[in-house]
Structure 1
Amino acid sequence: MSIVFVNYRTGDGDAVAALLEHELSARFGDGQVFRASTSIPPGSRFPRELITAVRRSHVLLAVIGRRWFDPRTPDDRPEGERPFDWTGREIVEAFESGAVVIPVLTDSVRLDRDRLPTELTELADCQYRRLDVRNSRADLTRIGDDLAQLVPALARTDSRRAEAEERRTAERGSRARTGGRVGGVGGDLSGTVIDSLRGAVHTGSGNLNCGPQFSGDGMGVQYVTGGDFGKSQQRFGGSAGHESGPDR
């Protein structure tokens, strides 16, 4: 069962309908989007397949462009007023089945209630989305996000959601490896490298290269650090400082 039904009028929204089907199928998976040109198998009964598909869909995307109202019947009436206008009938069936109907407006068109057939005036009340070929990537993303919010089944198959979850999992793993500490600082510093804008400071065994020398702490402890040649040394007592011991 397709969840999203792409409704369009031949000669008006063919290219946009194909783009919607392609992008939404890539995001939510094959079989989630119905478009008559590709979803009806050869030899199938066209009317029955259309009506069955739209009645089973959760969302109908009604693609409406500049020429949506232009086609005429032999007696010079708008195509939308023809008794067997399949584009209009699909929309009516969607309303009657309780599907969410989203007009997708292209070519900067406006949805004018006065130009709609009586049975389709409800379409003008529906919140629409725009799909501009010059901004198609952002517009398609927004439409896809709308669908993921509207239909939980689509959210579960949303490839963008899966990618976002993978990123969050990787970030959690990274934080776990550092114990949740920024820069890996905290706890046992043995063998830890602390990064800063001034370079790395090695806190494990071996030479300690961290700049100028300093010494003396009043306790007979001497610390010496140097450049590329220095080592960290500690000496208790001796001539380097005061002798420590009980007062006499």
Structure 2
Amino acid sequence: MSTVFVNYRTGDGDEVAALLEHELSARFGSEQVFRASKSIPAGTRFPQALITAVRRSHVLLAVIGNRWFDPRTPGGRPALEDRDDWVRREILEAFESGALVIPVLVGSAKIDRKLLPEELSVLADCQSRRLSMRDSHTDLDRIGDDLARLVPVLARTDTRPPLERGAGGGEKAGDGTRIRTRDGVGQVGRDLSGTVITAPRGPVHTGSGTQHNGPQFNGDGMGVQYIAGGRVRGLRQEIGRPAGPEDGQDR
């Protein structure tokens, strides 16, 4: 039984669907992610296999590219209005079975409600995620994080350590928070003695006692000082004059 069904239109999103399935399979396990060309064995009657897979899935990811609305039937009607169109059938089956439907918009693609047949109009109301090839790693991580939060079975099979999860760069884990910055990754928790600083741009003092430093500047013109550990009774930093012994006195 697959938990995630990857729905896509041939000629519009094939490569993205394959990338999405590959990355999610690596994170949650191949058996958790269904994509037709990978998951249906040779010789299997695919119509029943597709419908059965959708009905057994918790989530359907509808991959939508810029040409998703373009295909036409031999009579000239939009393919989405054709009852035999598999993209349409799979999405409708997912809604009917109670699966969560998440549109995955590729690049600059949009869902135009006016182009959707009435039966599929609800798709425009579903919160989407965007997958850009320029930032595919971040976008794929975010989609994976969404699935891990929304589907308990995926959370149990998730191979990503908790501190490596979190769209936008951070997620609380235990007593600390992981922070992504331009220069590296740090962890800030309740106890500053456990703080990790990557690529500091100024003096770093992690013991007890007083630290005196003059102005420190990085390439952006910003002063950086960091003090942790022990009891710091007073902390004062001024930019524009040399720091002196009085900077360690109580105020």
TM-score bucket of the superposed structures, by smaller chain: 0.5 to 0.7
Q: More deviation in 128-137 or 155-164?
A: 155-164
Q: 1:155–1:161: 8 Å Cα contact kept in structure 2? A: no
Q: In structure 1, what is the Cα distance between the partners aligned to 2:161 and 2:41? A: 31
TM score, norm. by length of structure 2: 0.65
Alignment of 1:50-61 (within 5 A): 50-61=50-61
Q: In structure 1, what is the Cα distance between the partners aligned to 2:69 and 2:207? A: 65
| Stretches of 4+ aligned residues off by more than 4 angstroms | 162-165, 180-183, 195-198
Q: Give the aligned partner of residue 73 of structure 1.
A: 73
Q: In structure 2, what is the Cα distance between the partners aligned to 1:107 and 1:160? A: 25
Q: In structure 1, what is the Cα distance between the partners aligned to 2:97 and 2:103? A: 17
Q: In structure 1, what is the Cα distance between the partners aligned to 2:41 and 2:28? A: 21
TM score, norm. by length of structure 1: 0.66
Q: CA deviation at 1:29?
A: 1.1
Q: CA deviation at 1:72?
A: 1.1
Question: In structure 2, do the counterparts of structure 1 residues 137 and 197 end up closer, same or farther at CA, with 3 Å as the change threshold?
Answer: same
Alignment of 1:33-44 (within 5 A): 33-44=33-44
- Structure with bigger gyration radius: 1
Alignment of 1:155-170 (within 5 A): 155-161=155-161
Question: In structure 2, do the counterparts of structure 1 residues 164 and 20 end up closer, same or farther at CA, with 3 Å as the change threshold?
Answer: closer
1:136-171 deviation digits (Å, cap 9, x = unpaired): 001000000000010011001111136769xx89x9
Q: Give the aligned partner of residue 18 of structure 2.
A: 18
Q: CA deviation at 1:107?
A: 2.8
Q: Give the aligned partner of residue 219 of structure 1.
A: none
Q: In structure 1, what is the Cα distance between the partners aligned to 2:142 and 2:24? A: 11
Q: In structure 1, what is the Cα distance between the partners aligned to 2:207 and 2:91? A: 61
CA RMSD of aligned residues (A): 2.4
Which amino acid in the other structure matches residue 25 of structure 1?
Answer: S
Which amino acid in the other structure matches residue 70 of structure 1?
Answer: D
1:47-105 deviation digits (Å, cap 9, x = unpaired): 00000000000000000011101111111111111120011100000000000000000
Give 5+ residue unaligned stretches, structure 1. 172-179, 184-194, 199-248
Q: In structure 2, what is the Cα distance between the partners aligned to 1:132 and 1:104? A: 10
Q: 1:7–1:62: 8 Å Cα contact kept in structure 2? A: yes
Q: In structure 1, what is the Cα distance between the partners aligned to 2:43 and 2:207? A: 69
Q: In structure 1, what is the Cα distance between the partners aligned to 2:150 and 2:90? A: 20
Q: Give the aligned partner of residue 30 of structure 1.
A: 30
Check if 1:94 corresponds to 2:94.
yes
Q: 1:61–1:102: 8 Å Cα contact kept in structure 2? A: yes
Q: 1:58–1:100: 8 Å Cα contact kept in structure 2? A: yes
Q: Give the aligned partner of residue 46 of structure 1.
A: 46
Q: In structure 2, what is the Cα distance between the partners aligned to 1:40 and 1:115? A: 31
Q: In structure 1, what is the Cα distance between the partners aligned to 2:105 and 2:164? A: 29
Give 5+ residue unaligned stretches, structure 2. 166-172, 177-190, 195-205, 210-251
What is the percentage of aligned positions where both structures have the same residue? 68
Q: 1:103–1:123: 8 Å Cα contact kept in structure 2? A: yes
Question: In structure 2, do the counterparts of structure 1 residues 73 and 137 end up closer, same or farther at CA, with 3 Å as the change threshold?
Answer: same
